Amino acid sequence: MKKSIISVVLVLFPIAILLGQQGKYQRKSISSVESVWIKPGALQGLERFDYRFFDKMVDFYIELERFDYNILPEPMLSEFREQANLLTEITPAAIGRVLEKTVAARILDILNSDDVKKNRGLALKDESAFQSFAATKAKSLGLTVRELEMLLNSAYIYLPYISNMKQEKEAKEISVEIQGGILWYQLAVDPGGNYSIKMLVGAKTSGLGRASIGAKNRLTGKPLYKEFKFGKEVLKTTEEQYAQYDAVLAWAKNLGVKTKEIDAFKLQAQIVEASGNKYGFPLGFSEGVHLGDGFHLVEFEEDKFGNEVATRVGFVRVTKTGDNKEDPTAYTYATQLLGEKQDIGGVVMEHPRLGIDARVKLGFVTGMNIPKKYTEFDLVTKIQVLDDDATSAFGANLTFAYNLAPIIGVSQTFLDLDIGFGIPIASYTNEAIEGNVNAFIISGYLGVTKKLWFGRSNLSIGLGGGVDRLTMGGELLDSTFSYSINAVGIKAGADFEMLLNPDLSLNIGAGYKFGLPPMSVTLTWGNEELELPIPLDEYEDLKMGGFSINIGINYALGELPINIFGFLDPFKKY
Amino acid sequence: MRKIHGLLVLSIIFSFLSTDLIAQLPVSKEATLIESVSSAEVMIEATGIYKSKQKKKKKAKKDVTEKGVKKAIEDARKATVYFILFGGTDPLITTPQERQKFDEYTSFFFDINNVNTYISFEETEFRKKVKIDGGRGIRVTKRFKINKELLTKDLEARNILEARAELAEAIGNPFIMVMPAVQRGESPIDLLRTNPQIKHAAAVVESYLTARKYDVIVPEQQAALSDLSAAQQSLAGREEDYAYQLALSIGSDVYITFSGTLEDAGYGTKKYAMAVRAYETTTARLLGTETGYSQGRQGEVMVSIEEAMNDAVDNVLSRITNYWKDDVKRGIQYKLIVNISTDFDEDQIEDIQFAFMDVVEEIAKSSKENIVTDQTLDYIIWCDPAKYDKSSKVYRKIKKAFKDAETEGTLRRININRKMILLKVDYE
């Protein structure tokens, strides 16, 4: 069973050979040319492209803790930009040649400087080198040729690019879509000191941002899109800027995951402690490991031709991050969720994800009460939508669950943004059918879920609050309309979830939503929306909550074109 | 019928014993010397293998998962000991006799508790860990630091190796002289005085030798050579070999020469390549030569020299030890050179030569005739240490025997040191 579920990937594995020690991440150094390559004609409809914010996002999501950073002097960067701008045909290869001419020599100088050798070189030394150092009365801790080769060939340059960025405005809605990616180049240095720039890999993704002009928070009355928050930083924006920032953040965050997915940059380590299904390995805050991060368990096997191939044999999740900034010997500990138990010497290899899960659930709700009399409203003519009282509904929910564990230090705790859609089970009146009028419930909830794991399964307990909206809508007099009754609700639920593979799990659960009496009615006619307060006792016995059972899936996202809870990312500290 | 039963029982006992012995030996026997960390310890990268004995694949895989790593590590540890004992260019166990003696103690030396006592350091992480035979086995590679000196002492304690202390008690440790190899006409002593790198390399060897309790002679007095000049004519073809002359004049048993160069190792680094040669002083016979290399480094030349020298000298020393063990069995070795004056006629010369040959036959357990000319007799003689533990005793015996032979010549000494007896016969 396990075999059929765990994805087994065979990879001809050159990493161990290159590094000398199996499953060891060697720090890489990266340089940025502090620029973004925007393809000619790529920017459409934008008043101004905000380079500062773009650089801020790229710095945050691309310049990860696992990298050392080589700062290039401004004159050199200007030279790169000048020469790149002179290119008649801009291709990754042509840019690589410009990098080779302009910045490669400087990077080599940086790598050859005493400070870099002293600081980064130490990380390249293995355990036996330190042993020899101690045994030989600390005579030398200088870099050997093998270590220098690793140091000089572990420098990379990245260049983000935008292939298309389009801003559209429809009525009050502004949307910005960005498409682009990142090019990674490697500085290759041979023993003779000759260097070249090689294109390593390219990754592309997209981001989408939205804002509504003049939109305000219904509770506070403050404008919704005049401030863009990122951690503790608050940036004053226009709605256009907000949409742009939103898109850029989503795009950069996706690229961060794609960067981590590049083989050369993937964190990996050997298991040095193994106790039951708990493993300790030498990675931690210095490499940007966070609580809840997933790692594949990798085993090397000799095939019939004598080649060593890496096989994924399991999956673990970080339960305690090692503070190796304070104590270099601190280990990160992880609990095994999938696969057979491993012993020391097994390898953990990073499985980068966004830290956001998408859950889709289908369910059935009972115990609700939507009397047919409340589905009657008077617009041009009086219409009653339901012919029966509805006491149950079919429903579907889409939840984006942001892993709060790296922020609060409590593992497997999620902040949920839940969008629900329900169809009351009741027959429609003839006039509703003729007028093509439908009744449905839309919900928006914010909540918290805590998952308690046992083996590959978990019990997740969730709590949330939000708004349910019974909407009846259709077309009347050539114009769309909707009549909605809004009510606040509180819900709690529990799910049993089983991991099918590192990303996908199946869940089955039950919950109860306590629906409060409706607070308001919203009438939309065409593009006009009118919110009407209603007396509390008018819909007194209308309840959109009830007991629900559901089945669904949970998927750990590696890419998401929209920004959800991105402002929380800078708070990650566990 | 009883005989058959007896044979059966014996063969069963034998098969159990041999199985036990085989079980003690490492499965892998794969190891590589990484570096000689000090005169006592070496860093070795060894591979250990564990193969499950379970026949069913599922059970075998489970078995490997449960205890494969532990068993493979133990096998790797044993492989390091095996390597030092039998592997590489200069193992500790070299002769069939030593091997035969060792076999009696195989279970002791490869008992994992004992093996662990030799390991002074083991890397936490693996160099490699690979499943083999479709998961029925596992192979791990790790680095270990082994106390070779402790292992050697254990071998000596069980008389598998002849203890150096016992050898020393019998005839003393070999005197070893260390000097740089030089070009013709160059003085190694000048080089030692003026070149800090050469001096450092010599110091590393001397440190190695003294740590292993060899007697080391440092040639710093050029004057020591002066006495030899009178005999230079007899050292046919070797008059330009400064090291040889120095060793002879000082009276070392063995002399070591070394030479080294810095080579480009790429990425702006230099590695030091060291060649170390050991010679038998009396004959200038090459006992062993070995090259050692440092890792490529930027700067830190002295560290590279030390690393390259450590790499080379360990093997050369084991060859010196083997030579010494063989040689002492023949007795104490002396070089005997006699210069015969040109004033003698042919018959007189022959009388003198015969007198000397008789003396050599009388005092030496064995001898080797190097040169016999009208003016020169050059012998290597091996004498009983109980009678002739000093060269002066040999000289006195020769002098007395020569006088008793009543030849026309008078025997006088030119120079006598602990290794060489340089004599002349003058016409009265």
Tell me the β-bridge partners of A268: A349
What's at A515, amino acid-wise?
Answer: G
**Which of A117, A270, A299 has the CB atom closest to B125's CB atom?**
A270
The radius of gyration of chain B from alpha carbons, rounded to an integer in Å, stands at 28
CATH value of B332-427 in 3.30.1490, 3.30.70, 3.30.2000, 3.30.1360: 3.30.1360
Ranges B51-65, B145-159, B174-188, B342-356: which has the least confidence? B174-188
Chain A residue nearest residue B265, CA to CA: A145
**What are the chain B neighbours of A126 within 8 Å (beta carbons)?**
123
pLDDT digits (tens, 9 = 90+) for B222-280: 444 444 544 444 444 444 566 666 666 667 788 888 998 988 988 888 899 999 999 88
For strand A155-170 and strand A28-32, is the pairing parallel, antiparallel, or unpaired?
A: parallel
B254: Cβ contacts below 8 Å, ≥ 6 apart: B174, B175, B176, B177, B278, B279, B280, B281, B287, B320, B323, B324
For strand B41-51 and strand B30-36, is the pairing parallel, antiparallel, or unpaired?
A: antiparallel
The pLDDT assigned to A267 comes to: 95
Chain A residue nearest residue B121, CA to CA: A131
Closest CA to B352 of B406, B298, B412: B406
Q: Name the average pLDDT for chain B.
A: 82
Residues A398 and A437 sit within 8 Å (Cβ to Cβ): no
Average pLDDT over residues B61-70: 90
The pLDDT assigned to A227 comes to: 92
**What are the chain B neighbours of A187 within 8 Å (beta carbons)?**
none
Most confident of A451-460, B161-170, B331-340, B371-380: A451-460
pLDDT digits (tens, 9 = 90+) for B101-111: 999 999 899 99
For B89-152, where are the E strands, in sequence order?
Answer: 119-122, 128-132, 137-147
Closest CA to B427 of B346, B355, B351, B342: B342
Three-state DSSP state, B12 = helix
**Which of A126, A140, A282 has the CB atom closest to B300's CB atom?**
A140
Closest CA to B129 of B56, B50, B63, B52: B50
The pLDDT assigned to A128 comes to: 65
How far apart (Å, rounded) are the C-alpha atoms in residues A321 and A326?
12
Give the HSE-up count for residue A458: Cα atoms under 13 Å, Cβ half-sphere: 22
The pLDDT assigned to A3 comes to: 40
Q: Grade residue B23 by pLDDT with cuts at 50, 70 and 90.
A: low
Segment holding B81, helix H or strand E = helix B57-86
CATH T-level assignment (fold) for domain A356-571? Porin (2.40.160)
**What are the chain A neighbours of B298 within 8 Å (beta carbons)?**
117, 142-143, 148
Percent of chain B with pLDDT over 90: 20
pLDDT digits (tens, 9 = 90+) for A82-101: 888 888 777 888 888 888 88
For A217-293, where are the E strands, in sequence order?
Answer: 227-230, 233-236, 268-270, 273-275, 278-281
The pLDDT assigned to A13 comes to: 41
Which pair of structure tokens corresponds to residue B82? 């095996």
B123/A126 CB distance under 8 A: yes
Residues B210 and B216 sit within 8 Å (Cβ to Cβ): yes
Percent of chain B with pLDDT over 70: 84
The pLDDT assigned to A133 comes to: 62
A301/B130 CB distance under 8 A: yes
**Which of B37, B43, B131 has the CB atom closest to A300's CB atom?**
B131
A345/B126 CB distance under 8 A: yes
DSSP B263-317: EEEETTEEEEEEEEEEEETTTTEEEEEEEEEPPPBSS-HHHHHHHHHHHHHHHHH
A128/B121 CB distance under 8 A: yes
Give the HSE-up count for residue A356: Cα atoms under 13 Å, Cβ half-sphere: 24
The mean pLDDT values, 10 residues at a time, for chain A of 574 residues are 38 42 85 82 87 92 90 85 82 87 86 76 68 60 78 88 91 92 91 87 92 85 91 93 95 95 93 93 94 94 87 94 91 95 92 96 93 79 84 94 96 96 91 85 95 94 94 79 88 96 96 88 77 68 91 96 95 92
Which pair of structure tokens corresponds to residue B225? 């050579």
The CATH class that applies to domain A2-15+266-351 reads mainly beta
For strand A504-525 and strand A479-499, is the pairing parallel, antiparallel, or unpaired?
A: antiparallel
The pLDDT assigned to A501 comes to: 94
Q: Is the pLDDT reported for residue B159 higher than 90? A: no
CATH 2.40.160.20 region(s) of chain A?
356-571
Closest CA to A15 of A268, A348, A306, A343: A268
CATH 2.40.10.410 region(s) of chain A?
2-15+266-351
How far apart (Å, rounded) are the C-alpha atoms in residues A565 and A357?
12
Tell me the β-bridge partners of B42: B36, B146
A302/B130 CB distance under 8 A: yes
Closest CA to A443 of A413, A408, A398, A474: A398
The pLDDT assigned to A528 comes to: 75
How far apart (Å, rounded) are the C-alpha atoms in residues B131 and B61?
10
CATH value of B170-327 in 3.60.40, 2.60.120, 3.40.50, 3.10.590: 3.40.50
- The domain spans of chain B are 2-153, 170-327, 332-427
Which of the residues B124, B129, B138, B146 would you substitute to probe the A interface, choosing the one with the greatest number of A C-beta atoms within 10 Å? B129
